[in-house]
Amino acid sequence: MTNNFQSPTRDKQAMNSVHSAHDAVVQAQSHPDENMIGQAERAIRHADAAVAQAMDGENTQGAELAAERLEEDRRALEEL
C-alpha cells in the first residue's frame, strides 16, 4: 500500500519557521521583556537554519521570500 503522506518541502518548512519567528517577534513587541525577546531570537535563529536549508534546493524562490520576511522580523526585533 502506498503512503500518500508527503513531508513538507524545504520551502514550506522554511516558511513555517518564518511564520513562527514572526509570531514570536509580535509577542516580544507586545511584551518586550527579556524572556519574550529571547524566545524571538531563538525562533529567528531556527528560521535562519530552515531558510539556509531551503536555499540549498533547486528552486529557491520560496526560500528567498522566506528570507525577506525573516529579515523584516529581524529588523523589528532589533528595534526593541
Q: What is the pLDDT of residues 30-64, one digit of tens each?
A: 999 999 999 999 999 999 999 999 999 888 888 99
Query: φ, ψ for residue 79 (rounded to 5)?
Result: -75, -10
Who's near 13: CB < 8 A, 6+ residues apart?
50, 53, 54
Q: Are the C-beta atoms of 77 and 44 separated by less than 8 Å?
A: yes
Note whether residue 4 is domain-resident: no
Assign 78 a pLDDT band (cuts: 50, 70, 90): very high
d(CA 70, CA 21): 8
Give the global pTM. Answer: 0.86
Note whether residue 35 is domain-resident: yes
3-state secondary structure of 75: helix
Number of domains forming the structure of the chain? 1
Note whether residue 21 is domain-resident: yes
- Res 58: pLDDT: 80
Residue 31 identity (one-letter amino acid): H
* Full residue range of the structural domain in which residue 19 is found: 10-78
- Res 7: pLDDT: 56
Query: What percentage of the chain carries pLDDT values higher than 90?
Result: 74
Note whether residue 36 is domain-resident: yes
